[in-house]
Amino acid sequence: MMDQKPSFMLVDGMALLFRAFYATAVSGQYMINSKGIPTNGIHGFIKHMFTAVSTFKPTHLAVCWDMGSKTFRTELFSAYKGNRGEAPIELIPQFDLVKEVVDSFDIPNIGLAGFEADDCIGTIANQVKDFAHVSILTGDQDILQLLDEQISVILLKKGYGNYLVHTPETFFEEKGITPRQMIDLKALMGDPSDNYPGVKGIGEKTALKLLKEFNHVEGIVSNLDLLSKSYRSKIEQDLDMLHLSRKLAEIKCDVPISCAIESAGLKIERDKALNKLMELEIRGLQRLLPIDEAIIL
């Protein structure tokens, strides 16, 4: 079976860390250690990551991160994600510590100032997909635009170990459009969570209808005379925002980063990993780590 392709899992570090943090923060369980450092987000992050590893059994793994809130998208549109408050004080020290933990597992941490984790994921997925099966672990639907025959998306559902796995086929069954058309969908309807408006007065239903008819934003714009008067005037009024929203929605897949597949093989050194967890007083996760007899080279 020498022709078996490696399977490369790209982890959206931010999505897992935030999900883990907020799941326990609601009840005030920050797991504060003897040094006064909260570790609830890190604990849940490790649990999410290795539960997925034991379910999907990737041979290679890398974690991608946002590197600060200023990116090329905030340059294009200063209000981008401007609706998000400061990170909770208990989460702030966990941003750096979680990367140290990932380092202690000899798993690459990837991020580049000026870009989001999604852009790093898209770039690496496209670099390695010709010689590896790529899966992306996230809770964020935006990443579904990257789906193709070599790239699947594993969406985290509530709790641990519950997933919705998307391929281009399942995405099409659910939405009736292709993954790439999701960029145009977001351009038309905007994205309240990222704080950009798209075209005022056009929601998902209308956007899907227009995309099924005209394929993409360019197709719609070059056929404005075929649209009803109401749709046409909405789009004409918000034409600049439509084009800008499309730029904001599209994940960049040509970020100047790379990840050599050799550096991402899952080979955790037991002592190094356990020492780091002990240092942070993170307990009860040893059995989840793929080490010893479960070592994957």
HEC string of 158-219? CCCCCEEEECHHHHHHHHCCCCCHHHHHHHHHCECCCCECCCCCCCHHHHHHHHHHHCCHHH
The answer to whether 91 and 37 have CB atoms below 8 angstroms apart is: no
296 part of a folded domain: no
Q: Does residue 155 sit in the same domain as residue 267?
A: yes
User: What are 44's two structure tokens?
Assistant: 């849940």
Enumerate long-range contacts of 26-30, CB under 8 Å, 24 or more apart.
Answer: 30/90
Query: CA 180: distance to chain centroid?
Result: 16
Residues 193 and 118 in one domain: no
**Could you tell me if residue 119 is inside a domain?**
yes
Q: Give the residue among 275, 284, 272 at the shortest CA–CA distance from 31.
A: 284
Which letter does DSSP use for residue 84 in this model?
-
What domain count does the chain have?
2
Alpha helices in 238-297 (DSSP H): 239-249, 270-279
Paired tokens of 228: 């009803």
Same domain, 83 and 120: yes
Residues 131 and 262 placed together within one structural domain of the fold: yes
CATH of the domain at 207: 1.10.150.20
Q: How far apart are CA 276 and CA 101, in angstroms?
A: 6
Nearest to 241 by CA among 196, 203, 185: 196
For residue 190, the enclosing domain spans: 176-249
Q: Is residue 297 part of a domain?
A: no
pLDDT in tens, the chain (297 residues): 455 899 999 999 999 999 999 999 988 899 999 999 999 999 999 999 999 999 999 999 999 999 998 999 999 999 999 998 889 999 999 999 999 999 999 999 999 999 999 999 999 999 999 999 999 999 999 999 999 999 999 999 998 999 999 999 999 999 999 999 999 999 999 999 999 999 999 999 999 999 999 999 999 999 999 999 999 999 999 999 999 999 999 999 999 999 999 999 999 999 999 999 999 999 999 889 987 544 443
Contacts of 26 (CB under 8 A, 6+ apart): none
Question: 180 phi and psi, to 5 degrees?
Answer: -65, -30
Cα 206 to Cα 185: distance, rounded to the nearest angstrom: 10
Whole-model pTM: value is 0.94
Q: How would you classify the pairing of strands 163-166 and 151-156?
A: antiparallel
